[in-house]
Amino acid sequence: MARKKKKKKITIYKIRPGALSEANTPPVTTPKIPSPKLWRQVNDLIKNKYYKDETDLKKEVDHIKPVSEYAKAYKKLKNKTSSYSREEFAKWVDKITRVGATGRRKQTFKKSKIPEIIPVLKDRKINDIQNFDFDTDEVRGVVLDGKRKPLTGLGLYSYMERNKISHVVDIIKAWPKDRSLKVPSWKVLMVYLKSLNFTPYEVLDGAIMSSQTKKRFLEKRIKREFEANATYAVNNLMEIYRNFLKLKKPFKIFISLPEFQAWCKEEDIQFESPTHLNDFLKECIKLYNVKNPKNKLPVKLK
């Protein structure tokens, strides 16, 4: 007597309204998310009531107007490509609702928007601190007629002349009326702060305490984080492409490269066609070459 086949148990997932925002762990209906830690980084913005729900947060992210060229290119790519996580979710739903060879179970799933937001708001590893020499010699400038003058070539001297200041530290008092001093880089800022006799903790405390309002916090948490993540994503892609060039293989192999596929997954990007990838890669290479003239990549894709 033939043994009866055991019926496969079908698990039906249900999500009560609001559970996605309240829980600090990803729901079971969100397959293949990066990690619960990254989920919490984004979900905390909703949990702490900066935004009503995922839709409200996604709308804010979609309306970001990038400033840097990298961020503009990244934003353009995001607008023109489909979501990797959405494609994975569709495959997952197709798989678990299938019954037998041709049957299909009717079931509605709520798709979380957080996996689409994670790539642009996630935390990044800072690995470029070695490029800065913060512990340099004390910046004292020169002493003329018993008065300390700042280092030349940074704009401090002309600022003092305009405001009729005899001592460099007096810039602190003149600043509320004249904020015309430009800060082109972190290295120049370091010289300014050391010239004004600030300590590192004093600067950190002042900067953080001035960002305690909701508006200033979200400016840094959402808009500036988007800019930083866009730059991070493009630089990572350029390094993947640079390593690919060393293999000396035709460009058509690049799209199937494991490192590139991992990059697409991390950035939640699904390219529509090889032509679309070519156009984006060329645009990024041109931007990268402008910022890195000593370490250029070939624009022509072989």
Q: What is the pLDDT of residues 146-163, one digit of tens each?
A: 455 555 567 777 888 888
How far apart (Å, rounded) are the C-alpha atoms in residues 21 and 51? 10
- Report whether pLDDT(268) > 70: yes
Residues 111 and 19 in one domain: yes
Residue 1 in any domain: the answer is: no
pLDDT number for residue 206: 92
Residue 136 in any domain: the answer is: no
**Domain residues for 179?**
142-209
Residue 63 in any domain: the answer is: yes
Q: What is the DSSP string of 210-223?
A: TT-SHHHHHIIIII
Residues 70 and 182 in one domain: no
What's the number of domains the chain is made of? 2
Mean pLDDT of 257-276: 89
Q: Which of 191, 209, 227 is the last residue of a domain?
A: 209
| 275 confidence band (pLDDT: 50, 70, 90) | confident
pLDDT number for residue 27: 54
Asked whether 289 and 97 are in contact (CB, 8 A), the reply is no
Q: Which of 166, 188, 209 is the last residue of a domain?
A: 209
Residues 119 and 222 in one domain: yes
Residue 137 in any domain: the answer is: no
Interval 190-199: pLDDT, tens: 888 888 889 9
Mean pLDDT of 208-224: 92
Residues 89 and 222 in one domain: yes
Residues 87 and 174 in one domain: no
- Residue with the larger pLDDT of the pair 260 and 39: 260
pLDDT number for residue 2: 54
pLDDT number for residue 89: 79
pTM for the predicted model, two decimal places = 0.70
Residues 117 and 239 in one domain: yes
How far apart (Å, rounded) are the C-alpha atoms in residues 89 and 85? 6
Residue 150 in any domain: the answer is: yes
Q: How does DSSP classify residue 161?
A: H
pLDDT number for residue 138: 46
Residues 200 and 233 in one domain: no
Give Rg (Cα) of the chain.
26
Residues 242 and 226 in one domain: yes
Q: Which residue has the tokens 């020499």?
A: 133
- Report whether pLDDT(99) > 90: no
Give the HSE-up count for residue 140: Cα atoms under 13 Å, Cβ half-sphere. Answer: 6
Asked whether 147 and 169 are in contact (CB, 8 A), the reply is no
Residues 89 and 202 in one domain: no
Residues 87 and 158 in one domain: no
Residues 177 and 249 in one domain: no
| Cα separations in angstroms, 228 against 68, 157, 180, 185, 234 | 9, 33, 26, 16, 10
- Report whether pLDDT(68) > 50: yes
pLDDT number for residue 259: 93
Residues 238 and 283 in one domain: yes
Q: Which of 182, 209, 236 is the last residue of a domain?
A: 209
